[in-house]
Structure 1
Amino acid sequence: MRIALLTEGASSYAQRADSWCGRLIEGLPEHEFRLYLLGGGGGPAEGPVPVAELPLWGRRPKGRGPALHRRRSYQQAYRSLIRSLVIPGERESFGPALHRLAALGREDGALPAFLASGPAQRVLEQVWRSPGAETAAGQPQVRDVLVAADLLEQCLRPLSAPWYGTGPGGLGSADLCHVVGGGPAALPALVAKQLHGVPFVITEHGLHLREQYRSYRTAPYRWPVRALLIGFFRLLTEETYRQAAVLTPGSGYDRHWQERCGADPARIRVVHEGTPAVARAAAGPEPEGPVLVWAGALEPGRDPALMLHAFARIRAELPAARLRLYGEEGAPGFLAHCREIAERLGVDAVVSFEGRPEGGPAEVWAAGSLVVFSALAQRSPRLLADAMLSGRAVVATEVGVAREVVGPTGLLVPPRDPAALATACLALLGDEERRARLGLAGRLRAQERFAVEPVVTAFREIYLELVSRWPAFPAVAKAAARPFARPAEYWVAGPVTAEPVAEAV
């Protein structure tokens, strides 16, 4: 079958064999894939599948605005969209407004120019300052209107992509769309479903909406702009979850987030993110003496301060212990702050800040007897799974995906509790046999859950299941759905040629 992969990122990375999309394409050679990338431009790189790319951020594409007799239609659709963002009682108009803007853009190609024009900015200002609009984050100023209009133009840019035809390379010719990552990458899938009835699957490894909430806390915009953009992403996420045929989060933790955002639990199927690291050999012998390794960005969310306070307690019970922290500074001045804590606790002589490892994560795990995670939030299973694949025992704070990933193969402790963390570490450092047993169990658990083959198998089943219960010719205007109207040969990738018939002599 023909599958359209929609995602954000650079073409050179998306097609690499070690990327998630690259592994999926390589694992399902029986299907025809085509990549649709929302990225920074620069032209597609050569790869195993065709690529269509649309610059998402930066200067808008060249083009003229709508004619005078069409400007009113654009303004009405844009006004409806903005009202859905700022008027609490008009949230339901978000989806129709998106599709109306997309339809206008397909007719004359003037959507990007209109969104960046003065009339669009005046519509935004009028609605944003109208009675009943949410202004809990503050009254918008003129500069807020200009910044928000520019950001919305970039977020809505996929609506004007030249991908919505039924010819070669058009989303209308695909049998299904697969959105990887969510956010603006889901806009083409929404349009393709509304226009051609093409179903879509959405895969999220780290929810796009949750990451927007985190990033906009420190974004260089005033609070009214942040609130408006967060509202846009929230409604886009809800509309995407409502329209998606299947949702495949990367963990049960993400599944709960999706359900809180309105996703139907019956359409959610957890598919763990596979990693080629499962084929990597386990770490070698432990170093001489008890060594704890900690990995992550040096920032408050990873809470290396908790690790340092726990290590001071460990050092009091086990004077030969050492601590090595791997990771780059994630917040300005935080490395110096951690050094001050180590010095104040009197452990600075046996604590080393190693920075970014040149040999990758495998070098980190091999350097210690025990791997420790002290984060306040653990949204992604990648680092935990990689540590478990090394065969080293793991101690982690019980937050986010930790219980789901580690399970009974490691020790979990409450966050912000240095005494509990120190006790767990001492229990394993003093019992070599238990440490080895948990390390082996963790490696086997990670190999079972995060291998690439189960991921490929899961999506093979999802694709076939979805196509089997979706009309072969979807219902569109003036056309009725006709299930089983396509022959079996239709779903075979590549052209089907007839066998030559020998002439009778």
Structure 2
Amino acid sequence: MRVALLTEGARPHPRRGAGAWCDRLAEGLPEHEFELYLLTGPEGFGAAERLSPAWRGARDLALWGRRPGGRAPGALRRRQYARAYEELVRALVLPGQRAGFGAGLHRLAALAREDGTLAAFLASAHARRVLERTWRLPGADTSAGQPLVRDVLVAADLLEQCLRPLSAPWYGTGPGGLGGADLCHVVGGGPAALPALVARHLHGVPFVVTEHGLHLREQYLGYREAPYLPQPSAGGTPTPVRALLLSFFRALTEETYRQAAILTPGSAHDQQWQRRCGADPARTRVVYEGTPAVDRPAAGPEPERPTLVWAGALEPGRDTELMLHAFARVRAELPGARLVVHGEETAPGYRAHCAAVAERLGITTAVDFAGRPGSLAEAWEGGTVAVFSALSQRSPRLLADAMLSGRAVVSTDVGVAREVVGPTGLLVPARDPHALAGACLALLRDEERRARLGLAGRLRAQERFAVEPVIGAFREVYLELVSQYPAFPGGGEGGRAPRPFARPAEYWLTDGPRGGRADAPEDGGDDPGGQDRAEELVEAV
């Protein structure tokens, strides 16, 4: 079958989708034909050329940055665009009209497909006037503040960029068109789901959504540092813009979850988030993100000196400060212990703050801020116990990598930690240095327990994060979808809807070219010899 992979390549937020994961999926399912549709960053249309050779034919669309050129719509078409755009904006700002988001979205897509002037309209003064008028309607949600002219200008530009996929030249049933695909696979969510929604609406093509980092959650967590927001010194932060953009991504996520045939979150923790956003539990299946690291050999002998190794971004959310306080207690019990901190500073000044905390606690000589390691395998090999002190553990990747090293793991009981570590490691409450220190001491003092937990953790991670189960899960998902959705939703020849699985499987397995018989029932009705052939097959088996 033909599978259209839809994902983002580069943008002002963490990268998702394109790259190793898509490569492994395509290599693991060679029986299917994969085509990549890529939303790129401001560098434009050449981004697909930097992918692996397998994706040289990828189609890309510049999502962020200057809009592509094009003619403006005429007066009549401009009014049609304005009505559809107003319906979409109303769904974002008026609590009682949330249900109109999908209708407005699909109406804009249909108009864009007819004349290709959507991008020009969204960047026009007419669209800005529609946005301003609708945003200031009585009853509009202005809890974040009344929108100023500056807010309208910024928000209009951002909405234009978010809606660019609606005008992509990807819709239709010809070569390269999403309408000719058997299914779409959205990797990462967010704007990458827009083409899948349009293909679902226009052609009935089902789509799967895979999220290893939930797009909506990233927006909620990262909108304060969004690059389009001016600094407070430049006249204040336009909170109405943030509220409008979050409303857009929330509505897009809800519409995506509602229309998706199957959702495959990367963990049960992500699955709970999706359910809060309206996802149907019956259409949600957890598929862990496989990693080739499962084939990596276990770490070698432990260092002679008791060593705790910590890895992650140096930021308050990872709570390196908690690790330092816990290590001070460990150091009081085991004077020979040391702590190695691996990671890059992502919050300006946080490394200096941690160094000051270590000096105040009197453990500076035993703490090594080693920066980014050459590889994670080297980081775990240099420690006796791997420790995680985060306030929120959203992704299982780092925990799984530590477990694959064969080192015993201690982690705060947050996010996916309990789901990933399970009974093969020690879990402690967050923000509790006494409990964290106690768990570390318990493992540092018991070599046999460390070895037992390390081996159990490695086997658990190998079972859950191997690539083969992931490939098998998506093979089943794809086959299930094509068995439920007809290959040609618009109808078959002569106006009759096709029935791909009308004939029983044994019909195709018997001797002779049964498929070409003139007396074969056209619509899968009664076959005079069908029962006899079925009985012969049963006896043969």
> Is the TM-score greater than 0.5?
yes
Task: Give the corresponding residue for 1:500.
Answer: none
The one-letter code sitting in structure 2 at the alignment partner of 1:418 is: P
**SS of residue in 2 equivalent to 1:349:** helix
**SS of residue in 1 equivalent to 2:53:** coil
1:87 is the counterpart of 2:94: yes
1:274 is the counterpart of 2:281: no
1:398 is the counterpart of 2:413: yes
**Aligned partner (choices 413, 421, 426) of residue 436 of structure 2:** 421
**Aligned partner (choices 35, 47, 54) of residue 48 of structure 1:** 54
Distance 1:476 1:192 in 2: 16
Return the offset for 1:470: 1.3
Distance 2:501 2:265 in 1: 32
Return the offset for 1:472: 2.8
Check the 8 A contact 1:3/1:32 in 2, yes or no. yes
Q: Deviations over 1:281-325 (max 9, x none)?
A: 111111111000000111110000000000000001110000010
Return the offset for 1:447: 0.5
1:321 is the counterpart of 2:337: yes
1:180 is the counterpart of 2:180: no
1:443 is the counterpart of 2:458: yes
Task: Give the corresponding residue for 2:7.
Answer: 7
**SS of residue in 2 equivalent to 1:48:** helix
Distance 1:483 1:194 in 2: 21
Distance 2:8 2:73 in 1: 28
> Structure 1's 371 and 56: CA in aligned 2 closer, same or farther, altered over 3 A?
same
Task: Give the corresponding residue for 1:26.
Answer: 27
> Structure 1's 484 and 471: CA in aligned 2 closer, same or farther, altered over 3 A?
same
Q: Deviations over 1:360-403 (max 9, x none)?
A: 11111011000000000000000000000000000000000000
> Structure 1's 77 and 367: CA in aligned 2 closer, same or farther, altered over 3 A?
same
**Aligned partner (choices 347, 351, 367) of residue 351 of structure 1:** 367
Return the offset for 1:474: 1.4
1:237 is the counterpart of 2:253: yes
The one-letter code sitting in structure 2 at the alignment partner of 1:73 is: Q
Task: Give the corresponding residue for 2:81.
Answer: 74
Distance 1:204 1:465 in 2: 20
Check the 8 A contact 1:473/1:483 in 2, yes or no. no
Check the 8 A contact 1:290/1:321 in 2, yes or no. yes
> Structure 1's 487 and 118: CA in aligned 2 closer, same or farther, altered over 3 A?
farther
> Structure 1's 232 and 481: CA in aligned 2 closer, same or farther, altered over 3 A?
farther
Distance 1:160 1:105 in 2: 5
The one-letter code sitting in structure 2 at the alignment partner of 1:207 is: L
Q: Deviations over 1:98-133 (max 9, x none)?
A: 000001111111000100100000000001111110
**SS of residue in 2 equivalent to 1:201:** strand
Task: Give the corresponding residue for 1:497.
Answer: none
1:337 is the counterpart of 2:353: yes
> Structure 1's 132 and 481: CA in aligned 2 closer, same or farther, altered over 3 A?
farther
The one-letter code sitting in structure 2 at the alignment partner of 1:306 is: L
- Stretches of structure 1 that go unaligned for 5 or more consecutive residues are 489-505
Q: Deviations over 1:187-219 (max 9, x none)?
A: 000000100000000000011100010111332
Distance 1:362 1:208 in 2: 29
Return the offset for 1:153: 0.4
Distance 2:427 2:258 in 1: 36
Task: Give the corresponding residue for 1:150.
Answer: 157
**Aligned partner (choices 169, 187, 190) of residue 162 of structure 1:** 169
> Structure 1's 15 and 188: CA in aligned 2 closer, same or farther, altered over 3 A?
closer
> Structure 1's 479 and 333: CA in aligned 2 closer, same or farther, altered over 3 A?
farther
CA RMSD of aligned residues (A): 1.9
Counterparts of 1:305-316 in structure 2, within 5 Å, are 305-316=321-332
The structure, 1 or 2, with the larger RCO (C-alpha pairs under 8 Å, 6+ apart) is: 1
Task: Give the corresponding residue for 1:124.
Answer: 131
The one-letter code sitting in structure 1 at the alignment partner of 2:393 is: Q
Counterparts of 1:380-399 in structure 2, within 5 Å, are 380-399=395-414
Check the 8 A contact 2:87/2:101 in 1, yes or no. yes
The one-letter code sitting in structure 2 at the alignment partner of 1:165 is: G
The one-letter code sitting in structure 2 at the alignment partner of 1:325 is: V
The one-letter code sitting in structure 2 at the alignment partner of 1:230 is: L
> Structure 1's 37 and 229: CA in aligned 2 closer, same or farther, altered over 3 A?
same
Distance 1:58 1:274 in 2: 33
Return the offset for 1:456: 0.3
Distance 1:208 1:297 in 2: 20
> Structure 1's 67 and 455: CA in aligned 2 closer, same or farther, altered over 3 A?
same
Check the 8 A contact 1:180/1:202 in 2, yes or no. yes
Task: Give the corresponding residue for 1:226.
Answer: 242
Task: Give the corresponding residue for 2:508.
Answer: none
> Structure 1's 450 and 426: CA in aligned 2 closer, same or farther, altered over 3 A?
same
Q: Deviations over 1:21-50 (max 9, x none)?
A: 000000000000000000122423262243
Task: Give the corresponding residue for 2:300.
Answer: 284
Distance 2:116 2:440 in 1: 62
Task: Give the corresponding residue for 1:255.
Answer: 271
Counterparts of 1:352-371 in structure 2, within 5 Å, are 352-357=368-373, 359-371=374-386
**Aligned partner (choices 379, 389, 399) of residue 394 of structure 2:** 379
Task: Give the corresponding residue for 1:38.
Answer: 39
**SS of residue in 2 equivalent to 1:188:** helix
Task: Give the corresponding residue for 1:412.
Answer: 427
Distance 2:471 2:101 in 1: 35
**SS of residue in 2 equivalent to 1:217:** helix
Distance 2:344 2:287 in 1: 30
Which one has the largest radius of gyration? Answer: 2
Check the 8 A contact 1:472/1:481 in 2, yes or no. no
**SS of residue in 1 equivalent to 2:309:** strand
Task: Give the corresponding residue for 1:471.
Answer: 486
The one-letter code sitting in structure 2 at the alignment partner of 1:457 is: G
Check the 8 A contact 1:6/1:185 in 2, yes or no. yes
1:103 is the counterpart of 2:129: no
Distance 2:36 2:405 in 1: 33
Return the offset for 1:85: 0.1
**SS of residue in 2 equivalent to 1:57:** coil
Check the 8 A contact 2:9/2:18 in 1, yes or no. no
> Structure 1's 13 and 248: CA in aligned 2 closer, same or farther, altered over 3 A?
closer
Return the offset for 1:480: 6.4
Return the offset for 1:476: 7.5
Distance 1:266 1:14 in 2: 24
Distance 1:318 1:161 in 2: 62
